[in-house]
């Protein structure tokens, strides 16, 4: 009989209330129980902790305690749902607590232990018997759930794997039946992925359903969050055209691809929405999570016959932007520094592995493929707003390295995770990260996403390998080595593994291909007390291996002032051939504090030089601006600094395309006198008038700082800019409008010519869709109008 999670909560809540009445624990004790309850002693599931998990093909779902994005502290699984006619019916019921598998209590993570027990049970040796330790009404006993025998995963799963084939075929059959129903819907992402999975099967019996989906996709259009939806809709439609040559949907594919390409920003990025008419993004700027799939979709559209220079330009601009992260870290959230906390940032490295393989670029394809393989366990469990993308793109990214890559990854993580997620009817729901709340993709249909992983061996779609991979096909030893690179780190224990390594082992890790491995080793070396291994680090800095040199710099950055003995060698490294090595050397010098200041002229000259030909986006200037002006000069006396060189660096940096880089110069406005700033005023004015094309979230900083500089010194040319910058429809409007009004007020009666514009501003604010929340600003504008009208 089907039951609900709410009934379980009510049952446990009633028991918990009785326990509170009779035991009257202290507030501290009660909080501890609510945080980590023992459900066999009448304690309750924490309030609001509604995230339960599918328990594989049993037909049951269960809640587990989570903390710090992990379920490894849990030792109990509270049964929340038992589906009617499922294998678990009659064996489990809502309110049961599962305490272990295979006759043993849970010992390290019930989610993984349950998943591995499912995988073992579905083998011929397991005979389909899933043995559980079940607690019910004060009694613990062993029970068995009978599951179908699907086979064992091969060493190269899903390649050469009978079980993977069965799962894919059964899943597609169930999916096709559901998609054929008149009320079938789903959001554009899951709907497109589902259609792609059926298309990958190659079965003609599914083509009526697939054609119906293609007709829907060809007509698809939206103004809301378009960047997120368009990429997946275009992918499906392009693959459909390439498989069927159905030209009836080509107009729709052409339209969607052109809208996506024309909606790209002038630097090659996308945000929540398409770019505005000025080529800049709206909202808070660039996001790679929709941008990568959009780029891949345009590549597929081009292969399907969309031949337009606008599409070609969009692909090239995006690839240039993303290619920068090769060898430096994971593709980050937006136009930020490379992410080096983990090997994956919610699937974006896996997406990049697929993209650069499609673009026939071996170096980035290999690098991002390696990052994908190294990302498992805790690194796949989490993602911004949920880990849907991390799981969806995992296998496509890993598979670029071949069957041994997928086999090693499946053995470590994929097999148990996939088996836990697969429901008893062959479908999949998104499981989500181990957290109590906050998953924006909760409840999403993940059937297509998982089935595409199992479809990789068919190589029927471009996305599933029909054209092969430009990443090297790795052998078992290489694959296992990459898996090892991803171990030794979890969300709740980030240090103990590395702190247990010897100094020699940590130094060896600084030579790794992986920026993440190097960073973790550098952090561990810096945490150690006593003298740092300076000679060894300098030796690495002077070696011929780029990874070792950057690894040494990563360590010097973490060592901070203790790295001062390496100043001369680091200063020499500022002239190295590699851009990222130069950037990291500069960061290490800045971390030294005063000991690094003699290198300031070198760094100012480099910022003043501007972007080099091989660095058209000015990335080196960007990161050096953060280092020099955001750190070294932030609180440093400028008395002995060459003012001419300083001004040249500021003038050049104010032209950088990144808004955050420009904003690093705001401190200089306060540190220099107006006389010293006078030669810079034209550049400062231009930086107010011409917003940065990237780094939108931070682009207002330098503009508002310049506005206030002009107002503080009563430079009247900037008065109209106080109203120009308000942009009341854009993100972060309240803070920006108030700052602009602050600047305008500094002009006093000199702002009287702005009265007509202020009156119009009042009307526009009153008509704004957020007028109620803007009421304090409206009242302020009214007062300013009145004061100016009454002024002399």
Q: The domain that contains 49 carries what CATH number?
A: 2.30.42.10
What is the tally of structural domains in the chain?
2
Structure tokens that stand for 701 in this block: 């900083």
> Do the domain assignments include residue 100?
yes
**Cα–Cα dist 306/297, whole Å:** 11
Q: Distance (Å, rounded) from C-alpha 338 to C-alpha 75?
A: 36
Q: Is residue 459 part of a domain?
A: no
Burial of 576 (0-12, 13-18, 19+ CB in 10 A): middle
Cis before residue 158, ω within 30 degrees of 0?
yes
Say if residues 89 and 82 touch (Cβ distance below 8 Å): yes
> How far from chain centre, in Å, is Cα 682?
39
Asked if residues 366 and 472 have their Cβ atoms less than 8 Å apart, the reply is yes
CA distances from 538 to 5, 87, 519 (A): 59, 62, 17
| pLDDT 10s digits, 557-572 | 999 999 999 999 999 9
For residue 78, is it within any domain?
yes
Tell me the three state secondary structure of residue 89: strand
pTM: 0.93
Phi, psi of 63 (to 5 degrees): -95, 140
- Is the sign of the CA dihedral 171, 176, 179, 181 positive or negative? negative
What three-state secondary structure class fits 487? coil
| Separation CA 775–CA 759 (nearest Å) | 15
Helix axes 188-201, 162-179, angle to 10 degrees: 120
Domain encompassing residue 25: 5-146
N- to C-terminal Cα separation, the chain: 81
- The CA distance from 61 to 298, in Å, is 39
CA-to-CA separations, 403 to 49, 99, 460, 780, in angstroms, rounded:
39, 36, 16, 65
Q: Is 562 exposed, middle or buried (0-12, 13-18, 19+ CB in 10 A)?
A: middle
Residue labelled with tokens 């400062």? 684
CA distances (Å), 222 to each of 40, 90, 677, in order?
50, 47, 48
CA distance 214 to 227: 19
Q: How far apart are CA 280 and CA 727, in angstroms?
A: 13
Whether residue 276 lies inside any domain: the answer is no
pLDDT digits (tens, 9 = 90+) for 686-706: 999 999 999 988 899 999 999
Is 703 contained in some domain? no
In a domain, 762, yes or no: yes
For 230, phi and psi rounded to 5 degrees? Answer: -60, -40
Sign of CA dihedral 397, 151, 388, 71: negative
Apex 191 CA angle, 186 and 195, nearest 5: 145
For residue 35, what pLDDT is reported?
Answer: 66
- Domain final position from 146, 172, 205: 146
Distance CA(545)–CA(413), nearest Å, equals: 32
Contacts 24+ apart (CB under 8 A), 732-738: 732/284, 732/700, 733/770, 733/774, 734/773, 734/774, 734/777, 736/700, 736/704, 737/777, 738/777, 738/780
Burial of 750 (0-12, 13-18, 19+ CB in 10 A): middle
* Contact present, 509 and 398 (Cβ < 8 Å): no
Beta-sheet pairing, 52-54 with 139-146:
unpaired
Last residue of a domain, one of 146, 170, 186: 146
Cα R_g (the chain), whole angstroms: 29
- 44 part of a folded domain: yes
Q: Which of the residues in the chain have pLDDT under 50?
A: 1-34
Residue 432 lies in a domain: no
Q: How many CA atoms lie within 13 A of 527 on its CB side?
A: 15
The structure tokens listed for 628 are: 């020099």
Do 348 and 289 form a contact (C-beta atoms < 8 A)? yes
**Three-class DSSP category at 117:** helix
Residue 182 CB neighbour total at 10 angstroms: 4
Of 120, 146, 172, the position where a domain reaches its end is 146
**DSSP conformational letter for 135:** E
């Amino acid at each position: 009989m089907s039951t609900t999670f709410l009934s379980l909560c009510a049952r446990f809540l009633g028991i918990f209330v009785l326990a509170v009445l009779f035991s009257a624990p202290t507030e501290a004790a009660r909080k501890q129980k609510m945080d980590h309850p023992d459900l066999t002693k009448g304690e309750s599931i924490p309030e609001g902790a509604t995230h339960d998990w599918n328990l594989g093909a049993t037909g049951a779902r269960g809640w587990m305690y989570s903390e710090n994005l992990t379920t490894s502290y849990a030792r109990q699984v509270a049964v929340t749902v038992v589906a009617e006619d499922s294998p678990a019916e009659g064996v489990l019921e809502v309110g049961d607590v599962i305490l272990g598998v295979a006759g043993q209590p849970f010992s390290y993570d019930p989610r993984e232990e349950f998943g591995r027990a499912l995988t073992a049970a579905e083998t011929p040796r397991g005979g389909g018997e899933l043995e559980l330790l079940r607690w019910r009404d004060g009694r613990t006993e062993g029970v068995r759930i009978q599951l179908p025998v699907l086979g064992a995963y091969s060493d190269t799963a899903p390649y050469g794997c009978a079980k993977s084939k069965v799962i894919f075929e059964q899943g597609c059959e169930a999916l096709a039946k559901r998609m054929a129903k008149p009320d079938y819907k789903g959001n554009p992402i899951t709907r497109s992925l589902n259609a792609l999975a059926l298309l990958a099967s190659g079965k003609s019996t599914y083509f009526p359903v697939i054609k119906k989906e293609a007709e829907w996709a060809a007509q698809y259009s939206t103004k809301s969050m378009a960047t997120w939806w368009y990429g997946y809709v275009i992918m499906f439609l392009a693959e459909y055209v390439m498989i069927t040559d159905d030209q009836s949907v080509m107009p729709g594919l052409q339209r969607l691809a052109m809208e996506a390409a024309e909606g790209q920003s002038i630097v090659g990025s996308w945000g929540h929405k398409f770019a505005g008419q000025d080529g800049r993004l709206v909202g808070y700027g660039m996001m790679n999570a929709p941008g990568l799939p959009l780029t891949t979709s345009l590549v597929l559209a081009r292969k399907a016959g969309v031949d337009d220079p606008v599409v070609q330009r969009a692909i090239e601009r995006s690839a240039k932007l993303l290619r920068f992260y090769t060898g430096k870290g994971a593709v980050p959230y937006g136009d930020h520094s490379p992410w080096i906390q983990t090997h994956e940032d919610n699937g974006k490295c896996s997406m990049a592995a697929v993209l650069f393989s499609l673009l026939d670029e071996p170096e980035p394809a290999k690098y991002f493929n390696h990052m994908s393989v190294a990302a498992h366990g805790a690194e796949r469990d989490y993602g911004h707003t949920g880990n849907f993308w991390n799981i969806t793109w995992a296998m496509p990214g890993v598979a670029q390295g071949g069957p041994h890559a997928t086999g090693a990854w499946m053995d470590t993580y994929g097999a148990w995770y996939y088996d836990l997620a697969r429901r008893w009817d062959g479908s999949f729901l998104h499981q989500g990260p181990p957290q109590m709340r906050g998953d924006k993709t909760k409840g999403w249909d993940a059937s297509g996403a998982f089935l595409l992983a199992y479809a990789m061996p068919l190589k029927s779609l471009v996305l599933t390998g029909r054209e092969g991979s430009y990443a090297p096909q790795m052998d078992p030893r290489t694959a296992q080595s990459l898996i090892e690179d991803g171990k030794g780190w979890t969300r709740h224990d980030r240090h103990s593994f590395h702190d247990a390594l010897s100094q020699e082992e940590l130094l060896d890790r600084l030579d790794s291909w992986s920026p993440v491995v190097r960073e973790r080793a550098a952090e561990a070396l810096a945490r150690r007390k006593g003298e740092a291994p300076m000679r060894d680090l300098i030796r690495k800095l002077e070696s011929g291996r780029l990874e070792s040199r950057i690894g040494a710099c990563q360590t010097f950055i973490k060592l901070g002032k203790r790295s001062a003995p390496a100043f001369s060698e680091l200063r020499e490294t500022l002239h190295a051939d590699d851009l990222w090595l130069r950037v990291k050397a500069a960061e290490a010098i800045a971390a030294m504090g005063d000991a690094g200041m003699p290198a300031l002229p070198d760094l100012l000259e480099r910022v003043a030089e501007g972007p080099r030909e091989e660095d058209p986006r000015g990335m080196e200037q960007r990161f050096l601006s953060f280092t020099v002006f955001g750190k070294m000069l932030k609180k440093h006396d400028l008395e002995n600094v060459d003012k001419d060189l300083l001004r040249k660096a500021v003038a050049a940096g104010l032209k950088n395309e990144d808004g955050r880089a420009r904003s690093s110069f705001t401190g200089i406005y306060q540190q220099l006198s107006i006389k010293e700033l006078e030669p810079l005023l034209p550049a400062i004015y231009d930086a107010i008038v011409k917003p940065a094309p990237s780094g939108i979230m931070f682009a207002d900083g330098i503009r508002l700082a310049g506005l206030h500089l002009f107002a503080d010194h009563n430079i009247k040319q900037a008065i109209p800019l106080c109203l120009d910058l308000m942009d009341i429809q854009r993100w972060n409007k309240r803070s920006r409008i108030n700052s602009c009004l602050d600047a305008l007020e500094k002009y006093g009666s000199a702002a009287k010519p702005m009265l007509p514009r202020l009156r119009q501003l009042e009307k526009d604010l009153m008509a704004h869709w957020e007028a109620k929340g803007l009421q304090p600003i409206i009242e302020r504008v009214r007062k300013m109008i009145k004061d100016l009208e009454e002024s002399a």
